[in-house]
Amino acid sequence: MKLKLLLFFVGWMTAGYVSPDLETVRQDYRKASENAEATKKLFEGLTEIGKNDNVVLVAYKGAVTTMMAEYAEGIKNKKSFFKEGRDLLEYAIKTEPENVEIRCIRLSVQENVPKITGYHKNKEADKAFILANYASMEEAGAKEFVKRYTSASDSFTEAERQRF
């Protein structure tokens, strides 16, 4: 009886949770880079995402969590957001190191965080990985995300952008 009650309670608690749509998250991530409200909205939408969820969503959660550091009050909160986001992003990379979209997400973070964070060491490796593996991407939404990001990124030359 207790087991049935526990299973019912757990089922009831999780029934309302629906994992965010990946395509919507991609679109919202682009918007989040433009303003605080979009960043906060995406952060709230990804609150329930954890390491057992889709690893690409974990990467987006990590990226947007690092972005929240910009809007946090006080140095302690800024560090906390940044560290949590970086750790989630690195977890996603370790889980799927061959995922071009996740590498692009990390590149987008490393290109835009302040130098004082020291989180810049993978920019060249991620850029090279993206250039080498973009053509083999199969998922259209991921491919479009990478193409859009690289077309606006200062890391890629005009000749490199033509490859996308």
The string of pLDDT tens digits covering residues 27-36 is: 999 999 889 9
The string of pLDDT tens digits covering residues 57-74 is: 999 999 999 999 999 999
**What pTM, to 2 d.p., does this model score?**
0.87
**Least confidently predicted of 12-21, 84-93, 143-152:** 12-21
Query: 17 pLDDT exceeds 60?
Result: no
In angstroms, rounded to a whole number, what is the distance separating the alpha carbons of residues 78 and 70? 7
What average pLDDT score do residues 132-159 get? 96
pLDDT value of residue 19: 74
Show the domains of the chain with their CATH numbers. Answer: 21-161 (1.25.40)
Taking phi over 0 as left and psi of -120 to 50 as alpha, with beta for the rest, 95 belongs to alpha
Query: 1 pLDDT exceeds 60?
Result: no
Percentage of the residues of the chain whose pLDDT score is greater than 90 = 86
The string of pLDDT tens digits covering residues 83-127 is: 999 999 999 999 999 999 999 999 999 999 999 899 999 999 999
pLDDT value of residue 120: 93
Query: 10 pLDDT exceeds 90?
Result: no
pLDDT bracket for residue 18 (50, 70, 90): low
**Average pLDDT along the chain:** 90
Q: Find the angle CA(139)-CA(102)-CA(129) to the nearest 5 degrees.
A: 90
